[in-house]
Amino acid sequence: MQERRLDAWSAGSIAAAAPPEWVGAPTWESLSRDHTTDHAAGGAGWRHGDEGEDTEDAGGWDPEDEIDGLGAEAYAAFMAEVYDALDGRGRDLPARELHGGLVEARSALGRAALTPEEAVTVLDDALVEAIESVGRLHTQLGAVGFRLAREAAARGLHREVALSLTDWLRVRCPWLSTQEAAQVTDVVRACDSPVTAQIGDAVAGGTVPVHRAALVARTMRRLEGCLDVDQREAYAEIATRAAARRDLPDKDLARVCHQLVEDLLHEARPGERERAAHELRSVTARRVGPGLTRFTVDAPDGVAATINGVLTSALAAPAPVKDDRGEVVEPDVRTPAQRRFDALATTIGRGIGNPGAPPSTARATVLLVIPFDPARGVPFGPATTATGDYVPPRQAVEIACGADVTPVWLSADGAPLALGRGARYATPAQWKALVVRDGGCSFPGCSALPQWCDSHHVDHWARGGQTDVDRMTLLCGRHHTHVHQHDLTATISGGTVTWHV
């Protein structure tokens, strides 16, 4: 019977679909559910799972006979149902395991949270072991969080609300500092490239903490434009292995990453070195403490010469107070480092100092031609510029917010009906008031600074909105576009901007 069944299967495409280990194994619910009780005409019958009894009596049901009785098409349909059932079973298992595991972890940590009275009873060895376990758990928790953040980024969940991944993580996890969220983002970005994906794999595997992997990811991002694919992969492997070494402190890992940059510049040929130096240019900032920020500048030689020229110019020379005869009456007590800073700050201030042109100044003048139906009192058809460029309706509204716009209303036959008023942008005084009130982009969860924002009419200027402080708010470029694309509205009350998203 066994050989006859195999011959029948080999006649069609079913042979590839039927796993050999399933041959003659009547374990499928669809076969056994109707035969777990005695057959009316079969005496004791067959019961699947009975132990110590004959599974086949004279006249009982034979599962092999029933399978053999199926034709090729019927059997193929039957197996398709089996595969569908097995494929669907457990699809929600990962989600349930994730939820259950986190619940159990929180419960277990709750049990480990000792009161001060209980903690004093723990012996030294046990206390040291517990602290080391907490360190390992911290890395493991970071691995779980990173995996979830990587998946959220792949699905674009942060883009659905027009937030950066860093801001989205801080909204979802308020206990994360900006630095911690940015570190997760750095490692997630490294996973976008197959060459540096090993950095994220090391975090997901629990062998490298997030903050050390972020340092490696930032280093590799700086080196990206200076190396070919093979070099990038080799550099990433060196840095990732260093990050995984528990005997290598964070400061030594930073030296390893810095050494990779230095080695690149020393080993490159002159032409390549110039290109590498240009790619490696950067300015970074780190908060030293309340009221003080440290800037680190990596400048190519040409720009460095210019900066040095400022730092050694007359602006950085001592400037004592002198009387009419040229005698020093008050010496310059600034240190050389302070004088260099003042020289640099003066130069930067001269470059950007223009009180009449704050960021709120209109950046363009646009003549917007808008077809208008006098009978209905509403615009119809697409708006165009004076040069005939098509402007979608939502973009027309956005242009009206960010440029000096003069709308020209046209009748159906092209005759001008009216020349509209020019759009007024926020004045410098209004801009300062918005900065004080909003402190930056007012969109929920956004951390963009005021200098990266535009003033936005809550009641769109194109719809008659007024350029008043109580009817305007600050929005960064990304959220300014997002608000216009989705036609979002906001309410301003008591100095608070509430967006209806």
Same domain, 164 and 84: no
pLDDT at 166: 94
Mean residue pLDDT of the chain comes to 76
254 and 175 in a common domain: yes
Per-residue CA distances from 296 to 210, 283, 286 (Å): 23, 6, 8
Confirm if 492 and 473 have CB atoms less than 8 A apart: yes
Structure confidence by residue, pLDDT tens digits, 455-496: 888 887 666 677 778 888 999 888 888 888 888 999 998 789
Helix 210-223, helix 250-267: angle, nearest 10: 10
Is residue 237 domain-shared with residue 374, that is, in the same domain?
A: no
Contact (CB, 8 A) for 170 and 181 = yes
pLDDT at 47: 43
φ, ψ at 487 (rounded to 5°): 50, 50
Mean pLDDT lowest among 73-87, 226-240, 364-378: 364-378
- SS3 at position 358: coil
> What are the C-alpha distances in Å from 85 to residues 24, 30, 77, 357, 437?
19, 11, 12, 68, 59
185 vs 350, residue with greater confidence = 185
pLDDT for residue 109 is more than 90 = no
- pLDDT > 90? residue 266: no
Residues near 232 by beta carbon (within 8 Å), at least 6 away in sequence: 195, 196, 220, 223, 224
Report yes or no on 417 lying in a domain.
yes
Domain interval for residue 167: 128-280
Report the SS3 class of residue 491: strand
Q: Give the pLDDT confidence score for residue 400 in this predicted structure.
A: 55
Are 178 and 447 in contact by the 8 Å Cβ rule? The answer is yes
pLDDT tens sequence across 333-392: 889 999 999 889 888 866 654 444 444 444 444 566 777 665 565 566 667 765 565 665
Same domain, 257 and 294: no
Nearest to 243 by CA among 197, 199, 212, 206: 212
The more confident residue out of 243 and 356 is 243
Domain finish residue from 280, 310, 326: 280
Q: Taking residues 413-423, what's their average pLDDT?
A: 56
Banded pLDDT at 427 (limits 50, 70, 90) = confident
Q: Compute the distance between CA of residue 265 and CA of residue 124 in angstroms, rounded to an integer.
A: 50
Same domain, 155 and 273: yes
Using a 10 angstrom Cβ sphere, with 0-12 exposed, 13-18 middle and 19 or more buried, the burial of residue 205 is exposed
Least confident segment among 91-95, 287-291, 297-301: 91-95
**386 and 252 assigned to the same domain:** no
Give the mean pLDDT of 255-283. 85
Tally of domains within the chain: 4
Asked if residue 156 and residue 267 are part of one domain, the reply reads yes
C-alpha torsion angle, residues 320, 323, 325, 326 (rounded to 10) = 10
Task: Indicate the pLDDT class of residue 130, thresholds 50, 70 and 90.
Answer: very high
Tell whether 119 is covered by a domain: no
Residues 501, 494: Cα–Cα separation, whole Å: 20
Give me the phi and psi of 312, to 5 degrees please. -110, 10
Q: Which residue has the tokens 């020209």?
A: 408
Instruction: Answer yes or no: do 403 and 467 share one domain.
Output: yes
Within a 10 A sphere around the Cβ of 203, how many other Cβ atoms? 32
Pairing state of beta strands 365-373 and 378-379?
Answer: antiparallel
- Strands 365-373 and 404-410 turn out to be parallel
User: Is residue 213 domain-resident?
Assistant: yes
Residue 228 lies in a domain: yes
Counting Cα atoms < 13 Å in the Cβ hemisphere of 444 gives 13
Angle between helices 229-244 and 250-267 (to 10 degrees): 160
Token pair listed for 360: 């709120």
Domain termination residue (choose one: 228, 247, 280): 280
Instruction: Decide if pLDDT at 316 tops 80.
Output: yes
Does the pLDDT of residue 5 top 50, yes or no?
A: no
Distance CA 165, CA 163 (A): 6
Q: Which tokens is 436 given?
A: 């004080």
Alpha helices in 89-196 (DSSP H): 93-112, 116-119, 124-155, 165-172, 178-190
* The pair of three-digit structure tokens given for residue 128, joined into one six-digit string: 């040291």
Residues 446 and 390 both lie in one domain:
yes
For residues 191 and 246, membership in a common domain is answered with yes
Same domain, 413 and 470: yes
Same domain? For 264 and 337 the reply is no
Instruction: List all residues 6 or more positions away from 323 whose beta carbon is below 8 Å from its beta carbon.
Output: 329
Domain boundary among 88, 117, 142: 88
Between 125-129, 166-170, 410-414, the lowest mean confidence (pLDDT) is in 410-414
Going by C-beta distance under 8 Å and a sequence separation of 6 or more, which residues neighbour residue 273? 265
Residue 116 in any domain: the answer is no
Q: 61: how many CB neighbours lie within 10 A of its CB?
A: 20
Residues 6+ apart with CB under 8 A from 147: 204
Q: Is residue 112 a part of any domain in this protein?
A: no
Buried b (16+ CB within 10 A) or exposed e, 380-389: eeebbeeeee
SS3 category, 117: helix
Measured CA to CA, the distance from residue 166 to residue 149 in angstroms comes to: 10
More confident residue, 166 or 70: 166
> Does residue 205 lie in a domain region?
yes
Residue 178 lies in a domain: yes
Can you tell me the mean pLDDT for 239-245?
95
